[in-house]
Amino acid sequence: MKQADVLPGKPFPLGPTPGPDGVNFSVWSRDATAVELLLFDAPGSSRPSRVIQLQSRVHRTYHYWHVLVPNLGAGQRYGWRARGPFEPGAGLRFDGEKLLLDPYARAIDVPAGYDRLAAARPGDNTAVAMKSVVADLSGFDWEGDQQPRHPFSRTAIYELHVRGFTRDPSSGVAEKRRGTYAGLVEKIPHLRSLGITAIELLPVFQYDPQDAPPGLVNAWGYSPVSFFALHGGYAAAAEPLAALDEFREMVKALHRAGIEVILDVVYNHTAEADEHGPTLGFRGLDNRAYYLLDDDRSRYSNFTGCGNTLKAHHPVVRRLILDSLRYWIAEMHVDGFRFDLASVLARDEAGKPLRSPPIVWEIESDPLLCGVKLIAEAWDAAGLYQVGLWVGDSWKEWNGRFRDDVRGFVRGEPGMVGRLANRIFASPDLYAGDQLEPEQSVNFVTCHDGFTLNDLVSYDRKVNQANGEGNRDGADDNRSWNCGVEGPTDDPAVEALRARQVRNLLALTLLSSGVPMITMGDEARRTQLGNNNAWCHDGPLTWLDWELVERHADLRRFVRRLLDLRFAFDPTEASVGAPLRVFLNQAQIEWHGVRLGAPDWSQESRSLAVCFTARGRTGRVYAAYNAWWEPLEFELPSAPLGWRRLVDTALRSPEDAAGWSETAPVEGSSYRVGARSVVLLGTGGPPPGDEPGPWSEHGAATPDRSG
């Protein structure tokens, strides 16, 4: 085929678009003086079979370079080269020797000899570069797939890492399928046994596994090279296009099980890192459009801690983000997104916070995205902390204050009782001032970033030497407590205390108002041996050991019982969608201490009790929280029908949590709450149906006691 055989093509749609006449390619580059399209005949090809030089007068419309190449189709490997000035002081970093990924490619082929460093050194890197792949997604059979669309009031999230979830041989998954989308499907029965309604997947966009210290690997995936292409390393199938089908089969299977799929998305930086990093795509196409630059333009603004920051307010980047989100909804059927370091989206050209960030409103007002789950990690690595201040009407927030305050209370810090009162009722000190629902707060005490739940009660200090940074990385303020011994122990007293603290943290997370989230392995006491920043480890340290799942079957049962209690409340009986303040005002609430009507809000207090009746309910719930190191006798409110014990973390399984039919009646006018434990009592009879208990995730009114 000669140069004359190609056609001008069209600027829209961006990326590769297969059709009956061939494939139309379109890419944005404002300052390029010349653009080339390189085609590769087969997977693993080190040299292009053809180089098509685009002519500005024929193949350029505005700043879009485009060409239609006949006789091409799905599976075609290709890449771009863009030539132009290399003037770092002006923000221009063209390198005509580097093969560039297409920002809109739906698939990427990572060759066996991929070399990240070659993209940072002078010279041609074509032989060892990632290649974009043309994909045709029209033929997949969704078999009438129906998204569950659980309201946030009926949502419980399980955060997991696709590879780490089933990679360990103990998973029982066939070797080829371990650590893959297909392997995850085999563990859907486990997810259902927990009672969760959504999984939140750590990044599944194609990322650069070599973006890590020497000898280590980027395992978490917070280093994207694309916002459309699926990470092929998580697929049992080696062919990139087959991986697309494997992912969609996984989504389809999860939906059949009533489980939603939320993606952890990274629209704040890319794997190209700082000015010393590799030229993989964005930098070589239009550095000034894609990235925030410092005043001297030769350096990158680093609000992410990863070397660069996407320019989210630029129209090209805004379009890229919106098109990416639409793609994952329309073509891959996912149910929502958790935005990593979302506060980056709120920064302007100079890095200052915008009062009303355009991209945030564009996302939630987009007609295709309306109704999907949008969750913001409302902070970034440069100190912008917007928890309680995030804009938008439908966004929810990871509540970092819930994490910190619940950890602080459970380990017995002074001055935490008033803060706990706010956290267990959806943080009205943060969210009741606006028209925000109780579910504005996504409650968690652990996530991928930080100690595991087991390590939170087993280590006072992080153990990150294996990360190769002299133990300087990772958070130092973990609000953890080792229960008397640092690390693993055979001491039965210490182990019993740790088991109780784990249950306390789970009870507070799963039974507080808001949206609960737990992390992969929380239900099995997974350990990372004190490493609280294990992003660069792909091995047993970060994989889920399924022998622990069986060993701690009692804890898995405890999680399920708590979620059963949580969802026993029928939200249709209350004003679903009403603001938090309305829920608080409509509920009957009484605060207590060890004595009725006498809560102790003092700095030295370590205990609190609350009795409430949610709107539209006749049954009442009484909860007592004791972070003191000795048992306390709590006076109980009157209950004509008598109190029944639903949860007591000081008791052994199965008495620690029970369905209504299994509950034991409480005798007497008081209840002895064990040292460092949580108790939940109910009265008024079981709810409609056979659900075990009258718990309402909407909770009741709470004063601002945050201090």
- Cβ atoms of 361 and 392 closer than 8 Å: yes
Which own/partner pairs from 635-641 qualify as long-range (CB within 8 Å, at least 24 positions apart)? 635/592, 635/594, 635/595, 635/596, 635/669, 635/670, 636/596, 636/666, 636/668, 636/669, 636/670, 636/671, 636/681, 637/590, 637/592, 637/596, 637/611, 639/683, 641/683, 641/684, 641/685
Element (H, E) at 403: helix 400-410
Any idea which residues carry the catalytic annotation?
Answer: 340, 377
For residue 689, count CB atoms less than 10 angstroms from its CB and return exposed for 0-12, middle for 13-18, buried for 19 or more: exposed
Question: Look-up: residue for tokens 């609430």?
Answer: 589
Tokens of 641: 């029908």
Interhelix angle 553-567/492-510, nearest 10 degrees: 20
Residue with tokens 């480890």: 537
**Side-chain half-sphere of 305: how many Cα atoms within 13 Å?**
12
Cβ within 8 Å of residue 256, ≥6 positions away: none
Neighbours of 87 (CB within 10 A): 13
Cα 93 from chain centroid (whole Å): 33
Beta-bridged to residue 69, according to DSSP, are 23
b/e code 30-57 from CB counts within 10 Å (16+ = b): ebbebbbbbbbeeeebeebeeebebeee
Q: Are 396 and 337 in contact (CB under 8 A)?
A: no
- d(CA 37, CA 225) in angstroms, rounded, equals 19
The structure tokens listed for 10 are 């069209």
Which residues fall within 8 angstroms of residue 73, CB to CB, at 6 or more apart?
18, 22, 23, 134, 136
The answer to whether 456 and 446 are in contact (CB under 8 A) is: yes
Most distant pair of Cα atoms in the chain: their distance: 93
Q: 245 vs 15, 181, 230, 336, 569, CA distance in Å?
A: 20, 10, 11, 19, 38
